[in-house]
Amino acid sequence: MSNDFDTVQHLLPLASQRYAVDVLDALSERPHTYAELRKCLRAHRRGLDDAMRALTTHGAIRRSGHGGSWDLRAPGSTRYHLTATGRHLTHQLSQLDTWTALYEHHLYGQADL
């Protein structure tokens, strides 16, 4: 990761969102249904819904087989996939430097840039 304050600022909301990093990790292996994500992450529905919305807002995930509002529950057959942005975020979050910068931001309010 480049030591870029903007990158840390961009990743911070996702890294601090419960289940968001776990969803990215699971979807990096393969697409999943909502039920599969809940089961493999042992996630609570509300927390997973919040994470999915946050990831959608960042353009990191998409769903196939169902259009429409994310406020309504999609059919059980709907599969969730990473987008190119999601793959990029997953790559960034796999770097130790990224987590170091996020942790320093958490401790000191800024990354050591």
pLDDT at 72: 66
DSSP 49: H
pLDDT, the chain, mean: 87
CA angle 33, 51, 53 (to 5 degrees): 85
pLDDT at 2: 46
Q: Tell if the pTM clears 0.95, that is, is over it.
A: no
Q: State the sign of the Cα–Cα–Cα–Cα dihedral 57, 111, 99, 93.
A: positive
Residue ranges, the chain, pLDDT below 50: 1-2, 111-113
The percentage of residues in the chain with a pLDDT greater than 70, rounded to a whole number, is 85
Residue 82 CB contacts under 8 Å (≥ 6 apart), including other chains: 24, 27, 28, 60, 61, 90
Give the up-direction half-sphere exposure of residue 85: CA atoms within 13 A in the CB hemisphere: 11
pLDDT at 50: 94
The answer to whether the CB of 60 falls within 8 A of the CB of 40 is: no
17-94: which CATH topology?
Arc Repressor Mutant, subunit A (1.10.10)
Strand bridging mode 61-64 / 32-33: unpaired
pLDDT at 40: 97
pLDDT at 51: 96
